[in-house]
Amino acid sequence: MSDRVIHVEELAREYLMGAERVQALRGLTLTIRRNEYVAIMGPSGSGKSTFMNLIGCLDTPSGGSYWLNGQEVSRLSDDALARVRNKEIGFVFQTFNLLPRATALHNVELPLVYAGTSARERRQRAEEALARVGLENRMHHRPNELSGGQRQRVAIARALVNRPSLLLADEPTGNLDSTTSEEIMRVFADLHRQGQTIVVVTHEPSIAAHAERVVVLRDGRLDSDVRNAQAAA
Amino acid sequence: MPVFEAVRMALRTIAAQKLKSFFSLIGVLIGVTFLIAVVSIVQGMNVYMEDQFANRLIGLNTFTLRRQPGINTGNVTEETWRAWQRRPRISYDDADYVAERLHTPALIARYCADRMTLNYNGKVAKDIDLQGTEPSYFEIKNIGIASGRIFTPQEVRVGAPVLVLGSEIGEKLFEGLDPLGKEVTIRGLPYRVIGVAERRGTLFGISLDKFAVMPFRAPARRHICPLNILDELQIKAPNPDLMLTAMAETEALMRTRRGLKPAEENNFDLQNASGALEGWKKISTVLFTALPGLVAISLVVGGIVILNIMLMAVAERTREIGIRKALGAKRRDILAQFIIESATLSTVGAALGIGTGIGLAFLVRALTPLPAAVAPWSIGLAVALGVLVGMAAGVYPASRASKLDPITALRAE
C-alpha cells in the first residue's frame, strides 16, 4: 500500500462547454508505484491532458477518487491542493514556464519560498538541485541567457528542489531539438535510477520508449497499459 | 511568502520598467510633494512669523500699550480705522500712571518714532527710523551695542541730544570713520553719536539696521510725536505667564484711568506677539484646512492610476501567476504578492514625492527669506499615505489574480 504513489479509481471529469457536457475522462482506474517510470500517451482528445491536470492536483475530478501517497486528494480545497502541489509534485512543462525576470537560482528557489523554507536553506538546496542537473555554472543567468535544454534543466531542478514524490512532465521535449531531447531524457533516466517516480505525458513514441511502462488513453478511458521491454532491458 | 521577498520582487519589477513605473507613480508623487512642500512652507512661515516677525518687532514676552494696534496682519476696515483715530492718545501721564501702579515685575519703555533724515558733514541718510525712548528699550528689543554705550536715565531725564545708531547708518554716514563722538544733525538740531548697535539683519528682505535711538525727551521729539504724547508704552515681563498678568493689570489700570464703564470697550490697544499674528493664523488655518482636500484628490487619482497599472500587470503576468500556483502558491500568497507590489510602487512614489517636496522646501528657503522647515510628522504621514493608497489600490487586482484558475493561467500567453 505504501508504495502506491498514485492510485485512481473510476476517475471522471466532465466539462460544460456552453450548454454541452463534455466527458473528458470516463472512469479511469490506475495505480503507479514508487520508482516507476510511466509514459502516458494518447491522441489529442483522449483525455491525457485532463488526466495530467488531475494527478498534478491542478484540477479536481467530477467523479471517482484519487489517492496521492495514500492521501485522498480529490476533495481538497484550493489551498490544500496548493500545499500538495508544493510538497508532493514537481512539474516539468513543455514551455519550461520559468519566470523570465528571475535568475535560474531564484526560479529554483520558488517552490521553497512557498514552502516557507528559510532563505539560507533555500539557497543551499536550490544550488544542490542545479548541480544535480549540471547547471552549477549557470545559476545567476536569466532564462533568456540560457539554451532551451538548459532552461528545461532549470525547470527540472525546480521540480526536484522540494523532493517531491512525483515528477510530472508534460511533453518535456516538445520545444527541443532531437539532440537536446535525448539529453533531457538522459537526465530523466538518471533521476529514475536514483529512485524518482516519473510520469511523462507525451504523444511521441520515441520519448515514451524511454519509460518502463506505457499507458495509452483513448476517449477518456484506458486503452492499453504495457511494460516496455526495451526500456526495462 | 515573506513580505521582504515580495518587496524585493516588487522593486525588481519597478526597476525593470522605470519609465512605466514613473508614470504610474506620478499621482502619488504629486500628492506627496504637495503635502511635504506646503506643510514645510507654512510651518516655516509660522516659525518665521513668530520668531522673526512678532518677536523681533514686538519683543519676546512683551506687549505694547497703544492707541491702536501697531501690527495688523489681517484686514482693517475703513470704519474700524476711523474709530481708532477718534481714541485718545497715550500721554506721558498715562505712561507714568501705569508705570507707577503696575505690580508685576516688568521692564517699561516709553516709545515714539517716525521717519527722519540724518545729516553728517554734507552726507544725508534719509528715511531713518528715529526712535525716542528709554534705556530699557535696548533690553526689551534685545538690541546689542557694538561700540560705545547706550544713554543713561540721567540723559533721558534732561533730554540730552545723544544718539545710538543702527549699524547700517553708521556705515553709510561715516564711511569707515569711527562714528563715536561725531556730530550729526536732525532738522538742524545737533546730536552726538554715543553708540552703534550690533547688526540685526533683515525681515522680509527689509533692513532692521536703519534706525537711530535717542532719549524720548531729546530736542527732536517734537518732530516725531506731539507734545507729551507717546506712540506706545512697551512692557516686557520675565516670562509668558507674567506677561499675561501684566497685560490684564495694565488693561484694568487704563480702564480705571480713562473712567470706562464695564459695558464700554477699551479705547486703547494691548498687543503682544501672538495677538499681532492673528491675521496670519487665519491664513495658515485656511491653508491647513484646504491641504487635506488637495492632497486627498491627488492621492485618489494616484491610487486609481496604480489600480489600473496593477490590473494590467495581473493581465500581463497571468502565466506567471499560473506558474506560481502550480509550484504551490496559495491564494493568499498571490494576494499578498500583488498588494505588496502595489504598496511598494506607491511607497516609492511617496518617497520620490518626499524628495521633491523637501527639494522644493529648500528651494524656497534658498530663494526667499522664509525658513521653510520640513516637518518630520509630514514625512511620516506621507509614507503612511503611500503605503495605504498602494494597498487599497492593490486589493482588487490582487484578488482577481488570486482567483485565477491555475490551468487557464498556465495556458495564457
Which tens digits make up the pLDDT trace of A134-155?
A: 999 999 999 999 999 999 999 9
By the CB < 8 Å criterion, does A56 face chain B? yes
Q: Tell me the C-alpha distance between B346 and B389, whole Å.
A: 7
Q: Give the pLDDT confidence score for residue B282 in this predicted structure.
A: 79
Q: Which residues in chain B have Cβ-Cβ distances shorter than 8 Å to A78? A: 330-331
Range with the poorest average pLDDT among A149-153, A228-232, B295-299: A228-232
Collect all residues of chain A within an 8 Å Cβ-Cβ radius of residue B406: 58
Per-residue model confidence (pLDDT) at position B45: 80
- Chain B residues in contact with A158 by the CB 8 A cut-off are 327
CA distance A68 to chain B (A): 16
Spatial distance between the Cα atoms of B38 and B288, rounded to a whole number of angstroms? 9
What pLDDT is stored for residue B2 in this prediction?
67
Residue B405 binned pLDDT confidence (cut-offs 50, 70, 90): very high
| pLDDT band for position A107 (cuts 50, 70, 90) | very high
pLDDT at residue A214, as a whole number: 95
pLDDT at residue number B310: 92
Q: What is the mean pLDDT of chain B?
A: 87
CB contact at 8 A, A29 and A9 = yes
Please indicate if any CB of chain A lies within 8 Å of the CB of B13.
Answer: yes
B chain contacts of residue A93, beta-carbon cutoff 8 Å: 410
Report the pLDDT averaged over residues A155-168: 95
Q: Which residues of B touch A111 (CB under 8 A)?
A: 327-328
pLDDT greater than 70 at residue B263: yes
Q: What confidence tier does B347 reach under pLDDT thresholds 50, 70, 90?
A: very high
Q: Does any CB of chain B come closer than 8 Å to the CB of residue A76?
A: no
Q: pLDDT tens, B160-184?
A: 999 999 988 878 888 878 888 889 9
pLDDT grade for A230, boundaries at 50, 70 and 90: low
Q: Do B328 and A58 touch (CB under 8 A)?
A: no
pLDDT for residue B227 is more than 80:
yes
For residue A231, pLDDT over 60 is answered with no
Instruction: Name the band, by pLDDT with cuts 50, 70 and 90, for residue B356.
Output: very high
Residue A232 has pLDDT above 50, yes or no: no
CB contact under 8 A, A85 and B326: yes
Percent of chain A past pLDDT 90, that is, above it, reads 83
Residue A233 has pLDDT above 60, yes or no: no
Look at A94-103, B201-210, B387-396 and tell me which has the smallest mean pLDDT. B201-210
How close A168 comes to chain B (CA, Å)?
11
Residues of A in contact with B410 (CB under 8 A): 58, 93, 97
Average pLDDT over residues B71-95: 85
For an interface test with B, the pick among A73, A87, A110, A163 (most B C-beta atoms closer than 10 Å) comes out as A110
Residues B25-49 have a mean pLDDT of: 85
What is the arithmetic mean of pLDDT over A169-178? 92
Q: Which residues contact B3 (CB under 8 A, 6 or more apart)?
A: B336, B340
Q: Do A78 and B16 touch (CB under 8 A)?
A: no
- Report CA B101 to chain centroid distance, whole Å: 36
A65, pLDDT greater than 70:
yes
pLDDT in the model for residue B170: 79
Please tell me the least confidently modeled range out of A66-80, A158-172, B1-15.
Answer: B1-15
Q: What's the whole-number mean pLDDT along residues B304-319? A: 92
What is the rounded average pLDDT of the residues B206-215? 88
Q: Which of A49, A99, A144 is the mutation pick for testing B, counting most B CBs within 10 A?
A: A99
pLDDT band with cut points at 50, 70 and 90 for residue A197: very high
B127 falls in which pLDDT band (50, 70, 90)?
Answer: confident
Q: Which of A114, A117, A154 to mutate to test the interface with B (most CBs of B within 10 A)?
A: A114
Res B383 pLDDT > 70: yes
pLDDT of residue A59 exceeding 80, the answer is: yes
Higher pLDDT, residue A156 or B34: A156
What ipTM was assigned to the predicted interfaces of this complex? 0.93
